[in-house]
Chain A
Amino acid sequence: MQVAIVGNGIAGTTTARFVGERVPDAKITIYSREPYAYYSRPRLIDFIAGEAPLEGMPQYDAAWYEKRHIETCLSCEVASIDTAGKTLTLSSGQQHSYDVLVLATGANAFVPPIAGVEKKGVGTLRTLQDAVTLCQAAQCCDRIVVLGGGLLGLDTAISFIHFGTAVTVVEAQPWLLPRQLDREGAAVLQHMVESRGVRVITDDLCLQVLGEEQVEGIRLKSGLELPACQLVISAGVRANIALAKQAGLACNRGILVNERMETSAPQVYAVGDCAEFNGNVWGIIPVALAQARVAASQIAGEVTTLYTDLVPSTTLQVGGIELTSIGEVNPVGEGFQEYRYADDAHAVYKKVVVRDGIVVGAIMFGDRSDLPAITRLVSQKIDVTAVASRLVSSDFNVGDWLKSATA
């Protein structure tokens, strides 16, 4: 069985790995337009921070791929797919046939249509090449502005500090990590980020990139002008669906898939940041892994393995800041109870959101000792009515209670 996988990120590589383990006669080829074998995207931050060398970025050596009968076709852009004839055509003109195709084309950084955004010195961080380019820029730039105070924006900003440049983060929403934190938690975070030397501006929007050919600064809606020789845009991602659309697959914001990760064409699957299931394009690693597992199982003939949406969980871990956010942390509407615990002296902030006795969201910031237990409460939908108000308390051990409650 010829299995073609388009995309070399965590979704494509994990699918290849699981197919290789489960289908002994599969011949797997991973196509990537990037010149690098699989590398971990979260580690791009370590690379920029100077903690991981370039040569250490590829995760696997040739022997790893060989052992799993996986071939890699690097710097290979797939230009088109013929789903009826089961062939794909590379931009070089070469044609390859397949029995099963997995699209793991990922997402591209979204660049908002800001005036002047095409100037030199405006970049995004998505690939290893992007990280290399940004590091080169940072070495001769004394002022960097990051647009976007989400997970990646903050990670990126903090990782630049060691270059000795002044770093500013601009977030359009009223507080940092608007999807993962509430206002109180974000205040604690902002203080920590600022104490590490990053300037934070919230509730303001970049209207214009200043400079001639090269960026010299930005102008904000408030009228404030920030000088900068490098601008990094971290305004979210968009699923990369161009190839799928060309092939005639049904797409919305992402490539539409069912609970088997099947697209609208036979023997064509889609997984990870490019896939849309049930109206959701999550763009986070746990979802990509879950989808890769399902696609690999389906390809291996284990057709009863189906995908269901997870409760999203994200973690920020940079510069001594550790926080995890799970599920619904800023509930809208009625029927939710919110319980908070704050210890400003130790930069600890915890919150759980409960609905009908079930934990549906949590923030664990600065103290994640209860995280495994809280994650279980959420994923197993355990009734916490009896202890809801004590869950975040510093003298309550969630793990011990969970053990006794489920014993």
Chain B
Amino acid sequence: MSKWECQVCGYVYDPEVGDEVGGIAPGVAFEDLPEDWVCPECGVGKDMFEEVN
């Protein structure tokens, strides 16, 4: 599973870590996050994330 980076603030979503603030347990792929999930650091939506190569 890939990491995804917020293009606004630089936060990186790491599926192995999940997102505690957003109530996302470790192991959830970025693609499977709820559609209304937002960046825990700056609050923008999923469409502002890009896959980290």
Contact = CB atoms under 8 A, between A and B. Distances in A.
On whether the two chains bind one another, the answer is yes
B9 interface: yes
Given A40-B10, A43-B10, A52-B10, A285 B23 contact: no
B37 A285 contact: no
Interface stretch (A121-129, A210-218, A370-378, A385-393): A370-378
A323 to B, nearest CB: 12
B9 A42 contact: yes
B2 interface: no
A376 B45 CA distance: 13
Contact of B42 (A42, A52, A59, A399): A42
A285 B44 contact: yes
A324 interface: yes
A286 B43 contact: yes
Contacts of A120: none
A371 B23 CA distance: 10
Contacts, number: 51
A171 B26 CA distance: 41
Contacts of B9: 40, 42-43
Interface residues of A, number: 23
A297 to B, nearest CB: 12
Nearest to B44: A289
A186 to B, nearest CB: 21
A267 to B, nearest CB: 25
B38 A372 contact: yes
A289 B48 CA distance: 9
Contact of B8 (A10, A46, A313, A324): A10
A139 interface: no
A369 B23 contact: yes
Interface string A362-402: 00000011011001100000000000000000000001000
A399 B7 CA distance: 27
A65 to B, nearest CB: 13
B43 A315 contact: yes
Contact of A324 (B7, B43, B44, B47): B43
A376 B22 CA distance: 12
Nearest to A376: B36
Contact of B43 (A43, A313, A399): A313
Interface string B28-48: 000000001110111111011
A132 B7 CA distance: 21
Given A289-B48, A369-B23, 17 more contacts: A10-B7, A40-B7, A40-B10, A42-B9, A42-B42, A46-B10, A52-B10, A286-B43, A286-B44, A289-B44, A293-B47, A313-B43, A315-B41, A315-B42, A324-B43, A372-B37, A399-B23
